[in-house]
Amino acid sequence: MDKVDLSQFQFEGLEAQHLSDLRSLDEHDRERLLMSGVDVSELGRSGSFLHMDHAEAYCNTKNEGVEIMDIKDALKKYDGLPEYFWKLVDKDKDDYTRKANEVLQGGYFIRTRPGAKIKEPVQSCLFIKSQKAGQSVHNIVIVEEDSELHIITGCAVSRDTQSSAHIGISEFFVKKNAKLTFTMVHNWGENVSVVPRSAGVIEEGGVFQNNYVLLKPVKYLQMYPTLTLAGRGAVARFNSVMVAPKGSHIDSGNRIILNAPDTRGEIISRTISTGGTIIARGDIQAYAVPARGHLECKGLILGGGVIHAIPELKGAAEGVELSHEAAVGKIAQEEIEYLMARGLDEEEATSTIVRGFLNVDIMGLPAKLKESIDRTIEESQKDMF
């Protein structure tokens, strides 16, 4: 798979109009947002952020414990964010990071107050509406000491958008005893190329739970978010669910670096190919003890395609405990027959098993988002059998 040719896309000049209300989006766009976990009514949300094409379109904070603004405003307000901006991701890593450094369209800056437990999620959406649009955003999330935050971020393209590209730099800072749940739902299109570059650092006693859901086609997705556990007792978890229909090329990994004693890392990925290609990578590295890590990547091939699971473990200290479990296969006939013996027909049985396999339940998502994901899984099952 060739890299994304950035010269094919327009990175400037598509500044969206500012919206006074998310409900002013048209029906199709609202629908796309909803599928990505973004509720335009903003009920049950602590705040919202929308970046459309090349600029911020909406930003609203409902909870004074959390600050949400466009990254450009944050850079101005906080003198360029010297402790955070380009601190975890190398701006010279590749063509995409260089492009992102060269063209900064926006992105979100989200920071909690120390000790603030933000119960309702903050929602954000990076949306592409124009043809041939190249989106380049930079996001910074800071969860201050003893605070808690859940961010739901949906990335989507408008129904009519054909070809586009998205570069997203994300840097996460989870401070001492803080907790971040970050749920990302991708709804790109079959002509959209996506290259997120994400990294996070978790300090002592901090927890980072990262959920990733991709059920819709994408032309090309390549990412390898890395979380470093830098303080004693820090915990990181990745849960990913990916479906690749024909035409999708997904190269996606998760990396956890256990750099302090008493740290734990877990990577779980569930992938289904219905004709596309998935390279499911995973890497846990341990440089301190005691440290525990477990990596589980399981794939089902339903209706063609390729799944290439590449789990890696590196222990660099005596006493580390790292393990992995990888499987690529099909639905067991025995399981289908078991459910059929209880009265489920073959289709009900297989869809029940697939839904259980994808196991979105463990992500602990708000009911509405969970429903929307369940519906999308159901729709995508048409390609599976």
Partner 1 sequence: MLHIENLHVKIGEREVLNGIDLHIKEGETFILFGPNGSGKTSLLMTLMGFGNYTVTEGKIVFKGQDITAATTYERARLGLGMSFQRPPTIHGLPVRQMLKLIARGRDVDLEGMARQVNFHQFLERDVNAGFSGGEIKRSEILQLMAQKPSLVLFDEPESGVDLENMALIGRTVRELIENGRTPEPGHSMKELRARRQTSGLIITHTGYILDYITADRGQVLYNGHLCCEDSPRRILEHIRQYGYKECVRCLRVPAGLADAPQE
Give the shortest CB-341-to-partner 1 separation in angstroms.
Answer: 5
Nearer CB in complex with partner 1: 122/349: 349
Q: Is the dihedral of CA 61, 67, 72, 77 positive or negative?
A: positive
> Applying CB under 8 A, does 335 fall inside the site for partner 1?
yes
Q: Applying CB under 8 A, what is the total number of residues that bind partner 1?
A: 24
User: Judged by CB under 8 A, does residue 328 bind partner 1?
Assistant: no
Q: How many Å apart are CA 122 and CA 46, to the nearest integer?
A: 5
Under rule CB under 8 A, residue 307 binds partner 1: no
Q: Does 343 bind partner 1 (CB under 8 A)?
A: yes
Q: Which stretch binds partner 1 (CB under 8 A): 11-19, 274-282, 343-351, 377-385?
A: 343-351
Give the one residue of 92, 330, 345, 367 binding partner 1; rule: CB under 8 A.
345
DSSP strands (E only) in 4-133: 47-52, 55-61, 66-70, 108-112, 122-128
Amino acid at 344: L
Contact (CB, 8 A) for 326 and 297: yes
Q: Which of 195, 261, 280, 267 is closest to 227 using CA atoms? A: 267
Other beta carbons within 10 angstroms of residue 139's beta carbon come to 23
Q: Which of residues 36-65 bind partner 1 (CB under 8 A)?
A: none
Token pair of 57 as six digits:
């379109």
Q: Is 337 in the site for partner 1 (CB under 8 A)?
A: yes
Cβ partners under 8 Å of residue 45, min gap 6: 39, 62, 120, 121, 122, 123
Decide if residue 340 touches partner 1 (CB under 8 A): yes
Q: What are phi and psi of 23, to 5 degrees?
A: -70, -10
Structure tokens at 312: 């890696």
Does 325 contact partner 1 by CB under 8 A? no
* Cα(240)–Cα(210) distance, integer angstroms: 8
Rule CB under 8 A: say whether 385 interacts with partner 1.
no
Q: Compute the chain's Rg from CA coordinates.
A: 20
Q: Which CB, 104 or 331, lies closer to partner 1? A: 331
List the one residue from 102, 348, 371, 378 that touches partner 1 (CB under 8 A): 348
Least separation in angstroms between CB 250 and partner 1: 21
* Contact characters 355-384, partner 1, x per CB under 8 A: xxxxx-x-----------------------
339 near partner 1, rule: CB under 8 A: yes
Report, in Å, the least distance between residue 27 CB and partner 1: 33
Q: Give the footprint of partner 1 on this chain (CB under 8 A).
A: 332-335, 337-346, 348-349, 352-353, 355-359, 361
